[in-house]
Amino acid sequence: MNKWIRGTNATVLSLAVIGIFIVLTIFLNSVKGLQVDLTQNKKFTLSDQTTQTLQVLDKDVRIISLTSDQTDPYIKRQVVDLVQEYKKRNGKITLDEYDLIKQPAIAKQYEVDPSGTLVVESGTQKKTIYYYDMFLPGQQPGQYSFSGEEKLTQALVNLNSKEKSKVYFLSGHNEIPLSRMNLWRSGLEGENYEVKDLNLLREGKIPDDASTLFIIGPENDVSDKEAELIKTYLNGKGKLYLALGFNKDMETNWKNIDGIMAAYGIKDQHAVAIEPKQSMLYDPLTIIPEYGSHTITSKLQQYNLLTMMTLAVPLNADQPVADFPATSILKTTNQAYGETDLKTLANSSRSTMEANDVKGPLNLGYVVEDKDKKPKAVVLGGSTLFDDRVIAQQGNRDFALNTVGWLQEQQNQVTIRPREGDAIQTAMLTAGQGNMIFYGTVLVFPFLFLIAGGVIWWRRRKG
């Protein structure tokens, strides 16, 4: 009888404990604001900027995670965990996960990278974030910084914004076509820009709603009439983004392009930058410039992201215009020089410095403000960095978007300090250590638990 009572009491007590645990779990899960983050780098704690963004988000947002067998599982978990934190704080956010191997048709709908892609959609708007853009190498081997919160919150801010700026890319002079700048274009559209092509010969004017005129990689000069239209536009509230192409006869053939730059005290030196002591990975015509001190380049310097240019034209602003101060943001090393014999260079691609060449360091990029210290123009000596084949390398894409953001005076830029991730280290074990761990966990420990359980059972049976 006593055994039956003791057994009944034990059963009731066990059921009561299980019931209390279930009720407590349901209660804690229903309290969304209650969360204690005990991780070392506070990986589950969102910043005030993110919290405020989620509080005012009033649109349905669908976040799509696209991964494949090339996606690092650890990285995927970091990204998905972050999105789950956003979901907890705003019920309008949903998350769908797709495997590109099992569901290849989904890849055709988006610009995906097999290492991992996050698409943020709201209505007809969408923003694409690549997994590799969220992770930056740390100071020590195995360490990294995770900037996923900054990227994702910026995407939500842009999707929730009511304003959309229109930017026009000039064509008709052998510029780099928009069809070869898809990654930059999608990045601009994700930042709430409406991107359009503009051929002045066909349109006859620069549209009134153009916030910025882009001239990217022109090989040929603009006509006199086109130059007048551009100057009239810039004399008003218009802004200019000019990145030079290459023409071996630029000294005689770029009269109007030179005139547009001269209005801001900038002139090209009719040469091509050569870096004889460049990295062994690249030829001397590929320049990795040093950054000047500016808000455009500060984060690139902080994260040690480099920008690359090929066939870059040196610029200078030795004769500044009072109303348009220019600041250099890209420079070469002292060892670089500007090759002025372009015809020989075009035929042989080899060069040695001669007396009539331009001595380094060379300026390869300027930003221009007006007399009220408002952004007016970005002038770069090269344009190859915007091409789809190159823009994904190092900091090219960030530089491209940062310069546009500065020029457009974006006020809704999100700045959230990246989290330092845990160092990922590989444990190197000897064969003996591996065997000890294997036999200890698979045989020894289970056997000890089995013996302990048997002893307890035997003693209770005897009692």
In a domain, 136, yes or no: yes
Percent of the chain whose predicted confidence (pLDDT) is above 70 = 87
In a domain, 423, yes or no: no
pLDDT score, position 170: 98
Q: Which of 159, 191, 214 is the last residue of a domain?
A: 159
Query: What pLDDT digit, counting tens, does each position of 256-292 carry?
Result: 999 999 999 999 999 999 988 765 567 788 999 999 9
Q: How many residues does the chain have?
A: 463
Measured CA to CA, the distance from residue 89 to residue 85 in angstroms comes to: 7
Considering only residues 52 and 347, tell me which one the structure prediction assigns the higher pLDDT.
52
Which amino acid, 306? Answer: L
Q: Note whether 123 and 224 are same-domain residues.
A: no
Q: Note whether 154 and 170 are same-domain residues.
A: no
User: How many domains is the chain partitioned into structurally?
Assistant: 2
Q: Note whether 209 and 275 are same-domain residues.
A: yes
Where is average pLDDT lowest: 119-128, 208-217, 355-364, 398-407?
119-128
Q: Note whether 189 and 280 are same-domain residues.
A: yes
**Residue whose token pair is 């007048």:** 228
User: CA of 191: how far to CAs of 44, 162, 329, 417, 443, in Å?
Assistant: 26, 12, 22, 20, 57
Q: Which of 133, 159, 185 is the last residue of a domain?
A: 159
The alpha-carbon radius of gyration of the chain (Å, integer) is 30
Q: What value does the mean pLDDT take over residues 56-66?
A: 93
Q: Which of 337, 348, 245 has its CA nearest to residue 287?
A: 337
Q: Show the 3-state SS of 154-188.
A: HHHHHHHCCCCEEEEEECCCCCCCHHHCHHHHHHH
Please check the confidence at residue 199 and state whether its pLDDT lies above 70.
yes
Please check the confidence at residue 349 and state whether its pLDDT lies above 70.
no
User: Which helix (H) or strand (E) covers residue 96, if one does?
Assistant: strand 93-99
pLDDT score, position 9: 66
pLDDT score, position 378: 98
Q: Note whether 224 and 327 are same-domain residues.
A: yes
Q: Note whether 199 and 101 are same-domain residues.
A: no
Please check the confidence at residue 213 and state whether its pLDDT lies above 60.
yes
Range of the domain at 227: 165-407
Q: For the chain, how far is it from start to end, CA to CA, in angstroms?
A: 14
pLDDT score, position 422: 55
Q: Strand 286-287 vs strand 309-310: parallel, antiparallel, or unpaired?
A: antiparallel
In a domain, 86, yes or no: yes
Q: Note whether 227 and 306 are same-domain residues.
A: yes
The secondary structure of residue 194, as a DSSP letter, is E
User: CA of 98: how far to CAs of 101, 126, 127, 161, in Å?
Assistant: 9, 17, 17, 28
CB distance 291 to 330 below 8 Å: yes
Q: What is the CATH number of the domain that holds 204?
A: 3.40.50.880
Q: Note whether 197 and 110 are same-domain residues.
A: no
